[in-house]
Amino acid sequence: MSASTRKATSSYIRPYAAQIASIAILQAIGAVMQVLAIGMLQPILDVANAGYGNEYILSNGLFLLGLTIVYALSVALASGMSSRVAARVASDIRRDVLEATLRSQNLGAAGDTTTFTLTCLTSDAMSIQAQVYMMFSLYLPVPMVILTMVYSTCLISLSIGAMLIASMLLVTALTYVLSRRASKFQANRTKGQDLVTRSLREKIVGSRTIRAYSGRDHENAKFEFISRFLGLNTKNVVMSSYYLPIFTTAFVWIFIVFVYMIAALDASSSTVEPSHLMIFMQFTACMVAALAVIPIICIQTPQARASMERILAVLGSVEPERPRSERREDGYALRVEGASLEDEYGRMTMKGLYLEIPRGRVVTLTGMNGCGINELMDVITAFRVPTAGTVTVCGMDVAASDPSDIRRAISYAGRQSGVFHSSIRTNLDAEHVHDDDEILEVCRRTGFIDYVEGLQGGLDAVVSSSFMSGGQAQLLALTRCLLRDAEMYVFDDCFFSMDDRALSKAVGAILGSCSGRTVLFASHGMTTVNVSDEVFLIQNGRVADSGTHEALLERSAAYQEMFSKRPRTISC
């Protein structure tokens, strides 16, 4: 385990140092009680052979029973506390992974972020939880039990104690070497888990599409291949890290039993003393039980290490917080000065883009698919930083400002409506800063009130995207956007599911609610061009032309072609 991985793991465990100390004390008590209980067998057996009374035997038996009860209670309490600590550590990890994913400015930094995060939140966090639980409930008692057993054995025979130490070193070395083979399979197994998660998400979310284009056979074949890949690597992990350590432990068991039986032979009579044999066998059972944990450690630790490294990859994808820069009050809501942007595939999606939007203006950005508008929206909302040039939003340089400051200055409604499985009130006003009258008033302006009043419970009705049409979900997102008090309102291609009546009412609500504020429409269509003060035509990552809708229709052949193919506009 690398130093960074150890440091990250210890940072999650350190807050529970007091509970861990209590667990260690309980485990130590349990180890001592175990040795004392085994030692009590000797006087009980000797007293019985010497013909002492039943009362003496009973008193020793009761004392042995008391030691056993104390041992059982200490182990049970330690196991319960270990379980609680492990659950809290896993909860802390899940919280940090989720927060890091939400705070990440580059949502594609770790590949398929959603799939990667889901695996981290489920199987990887569970692996860490299992490792922490086993570390304190199972691993922690091992050195205590081994030390006490070795000490007790050395009191009987120093040579046997030395052989016992040698056998422990042997089983540790063998299991470590053999289980190293499993480490290389752990990465492939977690990759297989990612593939299974992604395939399930595609099959569930895209179930209608799969049925529509008869892609069931293809999807099933792909899922079977992924399942075989995961199963093969899981089998490799099991075969290389499970059976061989068991064989090693069985060998040590036979070795220890053989040594103890020789030690139990009386030198003069060459017979086995029953009391000695019983004591030795009890020590043997405890020792082998402790040694059997060593292969488990060698199996579980590589898996937990691989999981923690994946979790650290998610946590490391969060960019360091940028210092808050002074706002530049120059009268512009948006200034893009020579901005270029290279995507994950090395393509330049923005190429020296220049545009300026004064405050209080209504502007539409339009262009064909792949023109660079989507990437510009990511930069404006501070989810990307331009490769070259500068983008200033409400006086703040995107590359030098805290993204949260930029997002507080704008209100955004995008292509994905973002309907959460919660009440309509929470969907519209998650921070609960508006009363019901204010919320309902904005709903009336946008036309979303028809949907709200049609639900039993009104604003308290619990909704999700599964129970809403595309147009209803977009009206919810638009209403949420208008409820925010912002300097600039951005509507990113969020009208495509609305009918003409709903669209006209929604745009009218935007223009009325945002009077005197900056409104930016981004669309591959022509819906809002005739209600905009200025239209920017984007082509190949640059501004090809700009002006009013009428002016562009007169002088721009590219704009005329777009308008002729997509003539849908609204009038408010």
Residue 140: predicted pLDDT: 77
Q: What is the 3-state secondary structure (H, E, C) of 415-445?
A: CCCCCCCEEHHHHHCCCCCCCHHHHHHHHHH
Taking the C-alpha atoms of residue 506 and residue 498, their distance in angstroms, rounded to an integer, is 9
pLDDT at res. 37: 76
Question: What pLDDT is attached to residue 419?
Answer: 82
Beta pairing class for 488-492 and 462-463: unpaired
Question: What pLDDT shows up at residue 33?
Answer: 83
pLDDT for res 267: 47
Token pair 């075989």 is found at: 228
Beta-bridge mates of residue 350: 341
- Secondary structure of residue 546 in the 3-state scheme: strand
**pLDDT tens track, the chain, 572 positions:** 567 777 878 888 889 999 999 988 988 888 788 777 776 766 666 655 555 556 766 777 787 788 888 888 888 898 889 989 998 998 998 888 878 877 766 554 444 556 677 777 777 888 888 888 888 887 777 777 777 767 766 776 676 677 777 777 776 776 667 666 666 666 666 666 666 666 665 555 554 444 455 555 655 666 666 667 666 666 665 555 555 556 656 666 666 666 656 555 544 444 445 555 566 666 666 666 666 666 666 667 777 887 888 888 878 776 666 666 667 778 899 999 999 998 777 888 888 899 999 999 999 999 888 888 988 998 998 888 899 999 999 999 988 888 888 888 999 998 877 788 888 898 898 888 899 999 999 999 999 999 998 888 888 988 887 778 888 889 999 999 999 999 999 999 888 888 888 888 999 999 999 988 999 999 888 888 889 999 999 998 899 999 999 999 899 888 888 888 765 556 55
Q: Is the dihedral of CA 126, 131, 136, 142 positive or negative?
A: positive
How far CA 328 is from CA of 333, 334, 361, 363, 392, in Å, comes to: 10, 11, 18, 21, 9
